[in-house]
């Protein structure tokens, strides 16, 4: 990492100053290297702004802050907010999400960005004529809950607070991409068994389940890994 970048992080209070060894030189140890790695993960993988990174690191460094609040600060910065068109459809979708949370007794923070993201997706699905997917939301929620337990199990094995924050960011972005890739592979397998496997109706539908190259409705094309969404560690 370039020295000017390190000096900039020190000036912005993202990185503690090194130990001066001469008027124009300082020594940096393993703790500084760990912090630099975390900053780069938050910046490059998480896509957080430097201002948001400062807030996350401030929470990380404060031992009085509950771990859950630290994890929430990290996850909030990397959870994308789907922009829904304002109007009755979006308001109905928000009510549907609130009812889902009550029905499943999910304990989430008030005003969670993931809840607003979900409302935006539901509204968009209905606008484009795929409200049938919304009817399957309980099945999707069951799957998300199972994945979340795996995610949290991974996070719990990370002891250091900086490790926790890093695992949330990486898990939110790359974990989402990994799950998306697994989902596309499963789509291909299931549709092959339905349409082309023994006893299947060959020629009745396209192999791959979803339109070729498109992933799931609303998802990124194959080869373009999406990021963000529900089920991320620490959310």
pLDDT in tens, the chain (235 residues): 898 999 999 999 999 999 999 988 889 999 899 899 888 888 887 788 898 888 888 888 888 877 777 777 777 777 665 555 677 889 999 999 999 999 999 988 777 788 888 898 898 888 878 889 899 999 999 999 998 888 878 777 776 777 777 777 777 767 777 888 888 899 999 998 888 866 655 444 444 444 444 444 444 433 333 333 333 333 3
The pLDDT assigned to 98 comes to 94
The pLDDT assigned to 165 comes to 77
The pLDDT assigned to 80 comes to 61
Q: What is the 3-state secondary structure (H, E, C) of 50-103?
A: HHHHHHHHHHHHCCCCCHHHHHHHHHHHHCCCCCCCCCHHHHHHHHHHHHHHHH
The pLDDT assigned to 231 comes to 39
* Cβ-contact 114, 72 below 8 angstroms: no
- How far is residue 44 CA from its own chain's centroid? 14
* Cβ-contact 26, 20 below 8 angstroms: yes
CA distance 234 to 167: 9
Helices (H), ranges, 106-160: 113-127, 131-134, 137-156
The pLDDT assigned to 125 comes to 87
The pLDDT assigned to 136 comes to 92
Rounded to a whole number of angstroms, the distance between the first and last alpha carbons of the chain is 31
The pLDDT assigned to 127 comes to 84
- Does residue 204 sit in helix, strand or coil? coil
Q: What is the pLDDT of residues 134-152, one digit of tens each?
A: 999 999 999 999 988 888 7
* Cβ-contact 202, 195 below 8 angstroms: yes
129: left (phi over 0), alpha (psi -120 to 50) or beta: left
Q: What is the pLDDT of residues 7-44, one digit of tens each?
A: 999 999 999 999 999 988 889 999 899 899 888 888 88
Contacts 24+ apart (CB under 8 A), 113-117: 113/76, 113/79, 113/81, 114/79, 114/229, 114/230, 114/232, 114/235, 116/81, 116/82, 116/84, 117/79, 117/80, 117/81, 117/82, 117/228, 117/229, 117/230
* Cβ-contact 126, 118 below 8 angstroms: no
Q: What is the DSSP string of 13-54?
A: TSSPPPEEEETTEEE--HHHHHHHHHHHIIIIIS---HHHHH
């Amino acid at each position: 990492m370039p020295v000017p970048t390190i000096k900039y992080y020190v000036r912005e209070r993202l990185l503690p100053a090194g130990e001066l060894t001469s008027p124009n030189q300082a020594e940096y140890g393993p703790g500084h290297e760990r912090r630099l790695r975390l900053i780069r993960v938050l910046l490059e993988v998480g896509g957080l702004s430097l201002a948001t990174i400062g807030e996350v690191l401030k929470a990380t460094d404060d031992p009085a802050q509950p771990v859950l609040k630290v994890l929430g600060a990290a996850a909030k910065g990397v959870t994308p907010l789907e922009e829904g068109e304002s109007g009755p459809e979006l308001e109905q979708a928000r009510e549907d999400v609130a009812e889902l949370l009550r029905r499943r007794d999910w304990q989430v923070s008030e005003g969670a960005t993931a809840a607003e993201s979900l409302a935006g997706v539901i509204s968009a699905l209905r606008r484009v004529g795929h409200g049938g997917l919304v009817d399957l939301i309980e099945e999707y929620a069951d799957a998300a809950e199972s994945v979340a337990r795996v995610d949290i199990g991974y996070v719990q094995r990370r002891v250091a607070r900086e490790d926790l924050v890093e695992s949330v960011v990486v898990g939110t972005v790359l974990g989402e991409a990994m799950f998306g890739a697994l989902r596309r592979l499963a789509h291909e397998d299931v549709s092959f068994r339905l349409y082309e496997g023994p006893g299947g109706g060959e020629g009745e539908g396209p192999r791959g389940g979803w339109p070729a190259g498109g992933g799931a409705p609303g998802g990124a094309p194959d080869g373009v890994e999406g990021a963000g969404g529900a089920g991320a560690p620490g959310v």
